[in-house]
């Protein structure tokens, strides 16, 4: 049995940062990763980096070859190749940094708990080794949820967000089951490459957590890209055909049956914490009803010297929260122990559609339900000169301000450069600044940021 100061299960973003920090403090660290294709975690290999790379490529394809499917399909194949090279480069860099550190040992294999301080590693050639650690950190991420649709296991045309990214042939007709962030991102991405996309949502309300004006604006943008959105979908079964596949479903509102043909079906019905096979009960680690590991504000599990970080602890699954998990843990281990998961609120999120949608804080509907006295301002993206110069005039900007305090309660930016501009609003909210700070701030010109001047001028 080998002894370590820390065992990290999973080579994800938070885990690799923590490994380097601990090793630099002269801790002896073991990292366990079950797949050499996942060095660096989901973001590098199957999430943020490959998807955002292809989203950018799809925008180029649309500009260059709109309505020319053959050219777009060739561009797509080249784009996937470029994406693969980038992912391989980043994966190798992650591997090199870890392997080069004398205080870090990387184990390729699957991990499971034997007790609260002992982990068994089974290598790919079935060899077993026991590792004992003073502190153990679970960083195994999340995996796609597969819905109960008859025939998906046997089909050659069913993909998850992870496996579709590996396909070098562009599907002419793409069906997407699930209209959440992943579904919408893939819809606009593949529509940009030239696929005929149908987005299928089980609920009767598109973007249920967003205000209706924002949802309607997104629907209009999707339709302009040729994306068809169908609501109230209850998927029943699918089967492969000579020309692709056929999905059967009923309408939740009236039970009407439908048959929909496609070349590929993307399952975008959510992700769940990846805890399968960890044998958590042997370590006294509890999970919640959704299977995510239960943690306190400092990310400790029900076994205090076992921690969980990143997607495996449930909640919002964003790469930047995994990075902040690392900060919280290091603060607890070596700092003043004041950092916790609550003090990082509010946290923005982005859906990388075309245009992208960024949001932080409360929505107008939520604020009204809670009885707040609010002021609301909206600004068409087309009113901002920079949107004109970029030839991206779709979308709108919206902000909710507390009428009594002048503090920003929430903001949605559905426009080009929204992922960057939302950070300015987040900074103002985090520091409890009056809205007039952004109203009167001197931004560079032309920029999308200066749209905030006009957005807040209404108050």
Q: pLDDT tens across 123-150, in order?
A: 999 999 999 999 999 999 999 999 999 9
Find out whether 369 and 418 touch, Cβ atoms under 8 Å: no
Rounded percentage of the chain residues whose pLDDT exceeds 70: 100
- State the maximum Cα–Cα separation within the chain, in Å, rounded to a whole number: 67
State pLDDT tens for residues 202-213. 999 999 999 999
Contacts with 259 (C-beta within 8 Å, 6 or more apart), sequence order:
246, 247, 248
Of 117, 102, 116, 98, the residue nearest 36 (C-alpha): 98
Question: What is the mean pLDDT of the segment spanning 76-91?
Answer: 96
The structure tokens listed for 67 are 């309505």
Q: Which residues are catalytic?
A: 445
**pLDDT beyond 90 at 367:** yes
Tokens 């260059």, located at residue: 64
pTM, two decimals, is 0.95
Question: What is the mean pLDDT of the segment spanning 276-281?
Answer: 96
Give the gyration radius of the chain's Cα atoms: 24
Find out whether 355 and 214 touch, Cβ atoms under 8 Å: no
Supply the pLDDT for residue 459: 87
Supply the pLDDT for residue 216: 97
Consecutive H or E run containing 454: helix 451-457
The structure tokens listed for 121 are 């590693």
Separation of alpha carbons 340 and 181, rounded Å? 26
CA distance readout (Å), 186 to 25, 51, 54, 196: 42, 8, 9, 12
Dihedral sign computed on CA atoms, order 441, 446, 452, 455: positive
Separation of alpha carbons 66 and 71, rounded Å? 9
SS3 457: helix
Separation of alpha carbons 376 and 390, rounded Å? 27
C-alpha distance across the termini of the chain, in Å: 66
Q: Sort 69 into a burial class: Cβ within 10 Å, 0-12 / 13-18 / 19+.
A: middle
Tokens 């169908």, located at residue: 230
Mean pLDDT over all residues of the chain?
96
pLDDT tier for residue 61 given thresholds of 50, 70 and 90: very high
The DSSP result for 63-101, as a single string, is HHHTT-HHHHHHHHHHHHHHHHHHHHHHHHHHHHHHHH-
CA distance readout (Å), 330 to 20, 139, 317: 11, 15, 20
Find out whether 22 and 5 touch, Cβ atoms under 8 Å: yes
- The neighbour count for residue 453, using CB atoms within 10 Å, is 16
Phi, psi of 137 (to 5 degrees): -125, 125
Rounded percentage of the chain residues whose pLDDT exceeds 90: 96
pLDDT tier for residue 35 given thresholds of 50, 70 and 90: very high
The structure tokens listed for 211 are 């205000």
Supply the pLDDT for residue 458: 86
Question: What is the mean pLDDT of the segment spanning 227-252?
Answer: 96
State pLDDT tens for residues 397-430. 999 999 999 999 999 999 999 999 999 999 999 9
**pLDDT beyond 90 at 349:** yes
Supply the pLDDT for residue 209: 94
């Amino acid at each position: 049995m080998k002894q370590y100061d820390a065992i990290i299960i999973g080579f994800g973003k938070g885990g690799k940062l923590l490994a380097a920090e601990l090793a630099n403090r002269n801790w002896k660290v073991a990292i366990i990763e079950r797949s050499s294709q996942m060095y660096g975690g989901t973001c590098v290999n199957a999430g943020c980096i490959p998807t955002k790379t292809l989203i950018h490529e799809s925008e180029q394809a649309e500009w260059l070859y709109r309505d020319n499917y053959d050219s777009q399909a060739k561009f797509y194949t080249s784009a996937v190749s470029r994406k693969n090279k980038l992912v391989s480069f980043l994966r190798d860099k992650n591997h090199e940094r870890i392997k080069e550190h004398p205080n870090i040992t990387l184990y390729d294999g699957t991990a499971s708990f034997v007790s609260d301080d002992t982990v068994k590693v089974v290598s790919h050639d079935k060899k077993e080794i026991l590792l004992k650690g003073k502190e153990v950190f679970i960083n195994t991420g999340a995996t796609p949820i597969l819905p109960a649709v008859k025939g998906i296991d046997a089909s050659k045309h069913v993909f998850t967000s992870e496996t579709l990214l590996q396909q070098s042939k562009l599907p002419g007709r793409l069906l997407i089951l699930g209209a959440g962030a992943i579904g919408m991102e893939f819809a606009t991405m593949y529509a940009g490459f030239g696929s005929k996309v149908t987005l299928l949502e089980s609920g009767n309300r598109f973007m249920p957590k967003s205000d209706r004006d924002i949802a309607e604006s997104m629907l209009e943008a999707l339709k302009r890209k040729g994306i068809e959105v169908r609501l109230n979908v209850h998927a029943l079964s699918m089967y492969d055909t000579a020309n692709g596949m056929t999905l059967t479903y009923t309408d939740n509102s009236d039970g009407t049956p439908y048959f929909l043909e496609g070349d590929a079906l993307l399952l975008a019905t959510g992700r769940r914490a990846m805890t399968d096979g960890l044998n958590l009960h042997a370590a006294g680690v509890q999970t919640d009803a959704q299977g995510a590991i239960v943690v306190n504000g400092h990310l400790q599990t029900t076994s205090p010297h076992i921690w969980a970080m990143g997607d495996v602890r449930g909640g919002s699954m964003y790469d930047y929260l995994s990075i902040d998990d690392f900060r919280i843990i290091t603060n607890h281990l070596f700092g003043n122990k004041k950092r916790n998961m609550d003090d990082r609120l509010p946290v923005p999120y982005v859906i990388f559609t075309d245009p992208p949608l960024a949001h932080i804080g409360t929505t107008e509907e939520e604020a009204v339900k809670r009885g707040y006295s609010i002021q609301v301002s909206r600004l068409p993206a087309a009113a901002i000169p920079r949107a004109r110069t970029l030839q991206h005039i779709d979308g709108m900007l919206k902000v909710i301000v507390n009428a009594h305090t002048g503090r920003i309660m929430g903001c949605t930016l559905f426009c080009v450069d929204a992922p960057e501009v939302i950070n300015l609003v987040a900074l103002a909210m985090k520091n409890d600044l009056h809205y007039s700070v952004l109203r009167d701030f001197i931004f560079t010109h032309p920029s999308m940021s200066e749209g905030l001047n006009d957005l807040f001028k209404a108050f």
